[in-house]
Amino acid sequence: MRTVAQLLLTALLLSGTGAWAQDNQDLRFLTNHTDYRRLRDQLSDYTLKRAFSQLDAREAKVATWTAEDARARKAQFREKFIRLLGGFPAKTPLNARVTGTIEAADYRIEKIIFESQPRFFVTANLYLPKTGKAPYPAILFPLGHESGAKSHDTWQQILVTFARKGYVCLAWDPLGQGERVQLFDADLGGSKAAPSTTEHTVLGTQTLLAGIPLARYTIWDGIRALDYLVSRPEVDPKRIGLTGNSGGGTHTAYIASLDDRIQVAAPSCFITSWRRLLLSIGPQDAEQCVPGFLAEGLDHADFIYGFAPKPYRMLSAIRDFFSITGARETFAEAQRVYGLLGAPDRIAMTEADDGHGYSKPRRLASYKWFDKWLKGVEQDTVEEPVVPRREEELWATKTGQVVPELHGETVFSLNRALVKGFRRGSTPPAEIGRMIGYERFEGVPAVKPFGVLQRDGYRIEKLTYLSEPGIEVPALFYIPDGAAQKLPAVVYVNSDGKSAQPGDLESMVKQGLAVLSIDARGFGETRDRDVADSSSWSRYFGDYGNAMTSMLSGSTLTGGRATDISRAVDLLSSRPEVNSQQIYGAARKFGGVAMLHAAALDSRIKRIALEETLESYTSVVEHRLNRGITEHIVPGALRYYDFPDLVRMMGSHPVVIVDAVDPVGTVVAAEQVAKLYPSAKVRKRYADSAAATLYGFTNQ
């Protein structure tokens, strides 16, 4: 049976009419069907191999742990995790207030607003029992991405049941959900970037540039929610449990691993393993991914060790998209570690033969687990059906949205203020290279030829070169006919692909330049097959899976692409037609992000020209929306440098900027760009149709 990739390739090769159309396809796809499929898969193979090597090293180490090692892991994990999160802000007054009350026969709901950071409002519901005697045990209940946030039907079923059983329960709206839409649009009556997972990752792209994973904001909301919960006189602060499903399971794992006030934990539909996650659904939205996590030797089981040896129950679904195999493997590892800690009875797992969600089998197991460890009784719960209240009934605000009503801070505004306080510009190039995962290799890369096309006055060599083990870069080498001397040469990188702008390439070669147009990893012919379909997720975030896997492993796609450019310089320097002292760089669209980094780190690139390239990383945190940016960012970059700093690192090497764009792709006024880059030549595309002249590579 023919694969989708093969059918796509055949359709592309047959499209168009005449020799020019066929030649154009010959330029776009260098290789046969087998090589085409391999190139489409190579980036994911490469990023997975790196991640798996880190996970292998961790597994080998854990297998040799002694009881002493197991006891030491809690402090080790917490230090690493908090550092990766960028630390936490200082605790400030919660300024909590009750805005309304709902009375039921056997429980009461209070509508709460508190501030997890100054004027960063959190809306919550507190469920209080009317039977029994205070102080009660309590349940902190983080929520997942399900619709309705704290009003979701299943959450109300769980919260009311716990309240009827004599627990105080607190649930709060996560970022981007319920009453806390961050990118609120009055005309839409909702988020500019719905659904919540999209909004999370738009915001997460901005916060990562500041060196702060979005999880730092969501975890801090949970820790401050816990502060409020234990402040209530009805609550016994020594009997606090924590449970939630999906994103709530994520935050159950997070918060339990970091806060000693939690005594019992039961995450539902989250705990698996990073190996199985990467082999199945891949990295999820922003708050579930913390760059450097795998590079630090961490995995899902380490959330458990941050909590150990207190009672921990994994609640898993056999047919969940969070791999049950990974959950079982993690549980087996945790069982051994709890045994080393002398607490084998305090780790347990429930498997239900159903799908994603806090289903009844897991709910019943949860009630029993908390009763055992917080009340000292083991009993089954008869779960009486709950008639859910409408979302509006549970609002803590008048209008249902904190942003337009209370005019407080958002993640966007807090992050923008944080970035404005950074002082950049003194970071050495070598340190930037380390941050992005850039590497320089010795020698000439191995080359595979794929034929030659003859044109009027020049020829095009089709080839691939080995940038590093596992990364083969397709390229087109344009060479003028009959040159009497060695030629200046250009490395050209277009994020749309090596043949996406044939007029530019022909213009340069006809003005006496040798041009090597490359598909740096993840561009053009090496674009991951799962990204090339232009799904809504990829339109917002590009190659999110490979980018985030790289970040988790301590690297970036930008660093890898800069490496590919330097290897292209190695290749050009070896060619007899090329003057190795006159090698330039040209880039279009997001190819410019990689080119800027490469030119700052590789002094052999004597000048560069960028067209339709992102204006700056700072612009990403100053615009509410961004599109296609995530795969091109460097976590923490804005603490140390921005694009103008990279230009300054190039010294006297000239820079031309043509039609720079903002984070949603709109061309920025030339005057604004000129202020940002005072030493660069800023131009508009219509100024000259000849690319070589426009880019400043001739007539200097």
The residue ranking higher by pLDDT, 287 or 7, is 287
Q: Output the pLDDT for position 581.
A: 96
Quick check: 357 and 366 in contact, CB under 8 A?
A: no
pLDDT band at 273 (very low <50, low <70, confident <90, very high): very high
Q: Dihedrals φ, ψ of 66, to 5°? A: -100, 175
CA 72 to CA 23: how far, in whole Å?
Answer: 63
Task: Specify the 3-state DSSP secondary structure of 449.
Answer: strand
Tokens standing for 304? 């458990």
Nearest-angstrom CA–CA distance, 593 and 616: 9
Q: What is the pLDDT of residue 27?
A: 67
Confidence of residue 529 (pLDDT cuts 50, 70, 90): confident
pLDDT per residue over 466-503, tens digit each? 999 999 999 999 999 988 899 999 999 999 999 999 99
668 or 537: whose pLDDT is higher?
668
Q: Which pLDDT belongs to residue 194?
A: 84
Mean pLDDT, rounded, for 143-164: 95
Confidence of residue 32 (pLDDT cuts 50, 70, 90): low
Point out the least confidently predicted range of 86-100, 280-294, 626-640, 680-694.
680-694
Q: Which residues of 52-73 are buried (b: 16+ CB within 10 A; e: fewer)?
A: bebbeebbeebeebeeeebbeb
Confidence of residue 698 (pLDDT cuts 50, 70, 90): confident
**Has this prediction a pTM greater than 0.85?**
yes
> Of the candidates 251, 217, 219, 265, which has an alpha carbon nearest to the alpha carbon of residue 145?
251
Q: Which pLDDT band, with edges at 50, 70 and 90, does 17 fall under?
A: very low
- Given pLDDT bands bounded at 50, 70 and 90, which one contains residue 193? confident
Radius of gyration of the chain (CA): 28
Q: Which residues pair with 585 in a beta bridge?
A: 491, 608
Domain boundaries of the chain, sorted by first residue: 72-418, 429-694
Is the pLDDT at 6 greater than 60? The verdict is no
pLDDT at 1: 33
Give the tokens for residue 197.
């997972």
Distances in whole angstroms, Cα of residue 397 to Cα of each of 114, 226, 227, 316, 403? 11, 21, 21, 35, 10
Pick the CATH number of 72-418 from 3.30.450.20, 3.40.50.1820, 1.10.3720.10, 3.60.21.10: 3.40.50.1820
What would the mean pLDDT of 564-576 be, rounded to a whole number? 98
The answer to whether residues 429 and 645 touch, using CB atoms and an 8 Å cutoff, is: no
CA distance 363 to 510: 71
The tokens of 634 are what?
């460097």
Q: How far apart are CA 555 and CA 369, in angstroms?
A: 41
pLDDT value at 20 more than 90: no
Give alpha helix (H) positions in 289-446. Answer: 301-305, 324-340, 360-370, 402-406, 411-420, 429-436
Task: Compute the average pLDDT of residues 448-466.
Answer: 96
Check pLDDT > 50 for residue 8: no
Task: Quote the percentage of the chain above a pLDDT of 70.
Answer: 93
Give the model's pLDDT for residue 473. Answer: 97
Average pLDDT, the chain: 93
**Topology alike, domains 72-418 and 429-694:** yes
639/287 Cα distance (integer angstroms) = 20
Region 581-610 average pLDDT: 98
| Percent share of the chain, pLDDT over 90 | 88
Report residue 24's pLDDT band, with 50, 70 and 90 as the boundaries: low
Question: Reduced to 3 states, what is the DSSP secondary structure of residue 209?
Answer: helix
Tokens encoding 73: 């892991």
Q: Would the pLDDT of 31 be above 70?
A: no
For domain 429-694, give the fold: Rossmann fold (3.40.50)
Residue 382 vs residues 129, 313, 379, 404, 533: alpha-carbon distances, Å: 17, 20, 10, 42, 48
Residue 515: is its pLDDT beyond 80? yes
